[in-house]
Amino acid sequence: MIDILIKRRKTNVQLGTTKWLNRLAFAALSLSLGVTTALAMPKMRANIEVTGSLVTLSDLFEDAGPQGSRAVFRAPSIGQSGVIRAERVLLAARDAGLNEVDRNNVTMVRVRHASQLVTEHDITDGLLARMKQKGFVSSAGDVELSLNQNVPDQHASLDALQSFHIRALRFDRSSGRFSANILIGGRNDLSPIRISGQATETVMVPIATRNILRGDLIMEGDIILSPMPRQRTRGIDRMQISNLIGKAARQNIRQGAIASNSMFKVPEIINRSDIVTILFKSGNLTLTMRGTAMTAGAKGDVIAIQNLQTNRIIRARVKDAGLVQVGETPMTIAAVKGQTQ
């Protein structure tokens, strides 16, 4: 009988202990779930960016849960922004079944509809590439495009493969005038943008930076390269500016005028009527005599010289200032020999 009572007490103690442990475990689980629930409470965002036409609860709240895919507002137009009062956001959340949320001290939610920005520069670059592709303008030369109207920044859809399309491009080769329609990618809500303008193909040409007088020596900076419409440069010979340094102007050149090779020459180092030394070399024989230059000449020019001893006219090549050399042609040598007889 005592053994039976002891066994019953032990059994009751064990049952009580088990119940107490179960209650403790349940309380701990409840506390844990409560903390987890508090931590996972959806938190309102102050600034959001959307890519579609609708704003969902997941856009508006962090950890929106199963209701996150519910659309509650319509998004602004592509590339535009708008604001929603926090009270409206809370009301929309409750209507969608999202009751317990953290307002996060937000008063206004700013919503921006993401986009691809299309600028006027983007459009002119695209037009130029298309013109070169079609052979309307040179693919190698420099071309300047000017539009007849300003094109404000446009916003294409992020889903569009191309931010804009060029349609109905027309080009007049004689004048360089063009027109086209621009369609912004993914924007069925926008009408095509009609644009027109002119394409001017330019080349770099040498331009005088100052008034240059006849006989002036060309210094660095007197001639520079400047872009000019190709049509204005027809018939003008191309040249390297570096080749002009040290040359002399054959004529007066006004500031801003296009410079060409024919306007310059090697500067004359012997003037007409200058007394010069005439040099003749043949093997080991070297003869010198005095003469008068009958014409002016630059280095390398062949000019007429009057021998002061015989008064005969000979032709000699200008070697340096005040020095000419007789060539070894039979006629020139004969003239020199006549002077030595």
Domain end among 237, 265, 293? 265
Indicate the SS3 state at residue 68. helix
Domain end among 265, 290, 308? 265
Q: How far apart are CA 275 and CA 293, in angstroms?
A: 6
In the chain, the number of structural domains is 4
Q: What angle do CA 330, 333, 338 make, to 5 degrees?
A: 120
**With contact defined as beta carbons under 8 Å apart, do 223 and 208 qualify?**
yes
Q: Quote the pLDDT of residue 332.
A: 43
Structure-block tokens of residue 274: 């200058």
Residues 303 and 288 in one domain: yes
Structure-block tokens of residue 118: 């299309």
Residues 274 and 336 in one domain: yes
Residue 86 lies in a domain: yes
Under the banding of pLDDT at 50, 70 and 90, the label for residue 259 is confident
Highest mean pLDDT among 6-20, 24-38, 99-113, 219-233: 99-113
If you average pLDDT over residues 29-34, what whole number do you get?
Answer: 49
Under the banding of pLDDT at 50, 70 and 90, the label for residue 18 is low
Q: Quote the pLDDT of residue 227.
A: 83
CATH number of the domain within which 319 lies:
2.30.30.760
Residue 80 lies in a domain: yes
Q: Torsion-angle region of residue 166: left (phi > 0), alpha (psi -120 to 50) or beta?
A: beta
Q: What is the pLDDT of residues 174-218, one digit of tens each?
A: 889 999 999 999 999 999 999 999 999 888 888 999 999 988 999
- Which residues, 6+ apart, have CB-to-CB distance to 30 below 8 Å? none
Indicate the SS3 state at residue 225. strand
Residues 259 and 279 in one domain: no
Q: What is the pLDDT of residues 288-316, one digit of tens each?
A: 999 999 998 888 889 999 999 889 999 99
CATH number of the domain within which 253 lies:
3.90.1210.10
Q: In 3D, which of 178, 187, 102 has the Cα closest to residue 136?
A: 178
Q: In 3D, which of 317, 294, 307 has the Cα closest to residue 341?
A: 307
Domain containing 96 equals 43-114
Q: In 3D, which of 259, 293, 291, 296 has the Cα closest to residue 278?
A: 291
259 DSSP 8-state letter: P
Q: What is the pLDDT of residues 96-145, one digit of tens each?
A: 999 899 999 999 999 999 999 999 999 999 999 999 999 998 877 788 89
Q: In 3D, which of 275, 282, 330, 280 has the Cα closest to residue 305?
A: 275
Residue 333 has pLDDT above 50, yes or no: no
CATH number of the domain within which 85 lies:
2.60.480
Residue 9 lies in a domain: no
The percentage of the chain sitting over the pLDDT mark of 90, rounded to a whole number, equals 57
φ/ψ of 242, rounded to 5, equals -60, -25
Under the banding of pLDDT at 50, 70 and 90, the label for residue 336 is very low
Q: How far apart are CA 312 and CA 103, in angstroms?
A: 114
Residue 155 lies in a domain: yes
Helix or strand (DSSP H, E) at 23: helix 2-39
Written in H, E and C, the secondary structure of 91-140 is HHHHHCCCCCCECCCCCEEEEEECCEEECHHHHHHHHHHHHHHHCCCCCC
Structure-block tokens of residue 50: 């959307």
**With contact defined as beta carbons under 8 Å apart, do 259 and 211 qualify?**
no
Q: Quote the pLDDT of residue 237.
A: 65
Residue 236 lies in a domain: yes
Q: How far apart are CA 180 and CA 171, in angstroms?
A: 9
Let me know if 319 is exposed, middle or buried by CB neighbors in 10 A (0-12, 13-18, 19+).
Answer: middle
Domain end among 202, 225, 256? 202
Residue 22 lies in a domain: no
Q: Quote the pLDDT of residue 331.
A: 40
If you average pLDDT over residues 250-270, what whole number do you get?
Answer: 89
Residue 340 has pLDDT above 50, yes or no: no
Residues 189 and 210 in one domain: no
